[in-house]
Amino acid sequence: MTTKLWNSDRGYDSTLIAFDESLKRLDMEYVDLYLIHWPAQGEAGEELNAQTWRAFETIYKEGRAKAIGVSNFMDHHLDKLSQCAEIMPMVNQIEYHPGYMQPETVAYCKEMGILVEAWSPLGSGKVLNNAQLEYIAGKYGKSVAQVCIRWCLQNEILPLPKSVTPERIRQNMAVYDFTLSEDDMATINHLSYIGGSGLHPDTVNF
């Protein structure tokens, strides 16, 4: 069970209040993972991120979140947070898919032992309709979505695909009976920008 802190609730006291309200709505005594949804911006934002993270550490120490992390934090956001954090984020959930890999952030997370979780691992329709990905998928008798998920796993990224269709959910799980070759991994790793959301953590402010 994962839930996130919305931007308007950032800050020490407001985070604690928002978390209590989330538990009430979920009718749970704890969550498995609690995430800051987006980093706050600028010098004032750095202090706000620090206060918010201090509340996360309190929640974790109380055992009411089994793991704590962030979402959409780039390497420079994480570096600033590391200067005041007692406990580093355990997870960073970022946009990650073929054509948009955020290599600097991923490298920082791996160096610091932070698990990278990919939101939108299938990108947009432009990813699913990409000719190179369609060709690779055909070689393995798989869908492009399955190739994207398998590619994430082989890059040591935890994919978080979303679907409400039972058959697609089953397909998204059927990715352990094939392995992408080194050449195919390299081809996907070097795809030009496609299928991004257009949301950038340094400019999102809602």
The tens place of each residue's pLDDT in the chain, 206 residues long, gives: 999 999 999 999 999 999 999 999 999 999 999 999 999 998 899 999 999 999 999 999 999 999 999 999 999 999 999 999 999 999 999 999 999 999 999 999 999 999 999 999 999 889 999 999 999 999 999 999 999 999 999 999 999 998 888 998 999 999 999 999 999 999 999 999 999 999 999 988 76
Q: Are 36 and 14 in contact (CB under 8 A)?
A: no
> Residue 67 contacts by C-beta under 8 Å, 6 or more apart in sequence?
32, 33, 34, 60, 90, 91
Q: Whole-prediction pTM value? A: 0.95
Helix or strand (DSSP H, E) at 46: helix 42-61
CB atoms within 10 A of CB 63: 9
Report DSSP state, residue 9. Answer: G
**What is the DSSP code string of 100-153?**
B--HHHHHHHHHHTPEEEEESTT-SHHHHT-HHHHHHHHHHT--HHHHHHHHHH
The tokens of 194 are what?
A: 């496609």
In angstroms, the CA 119 to CA 197 distance is 11
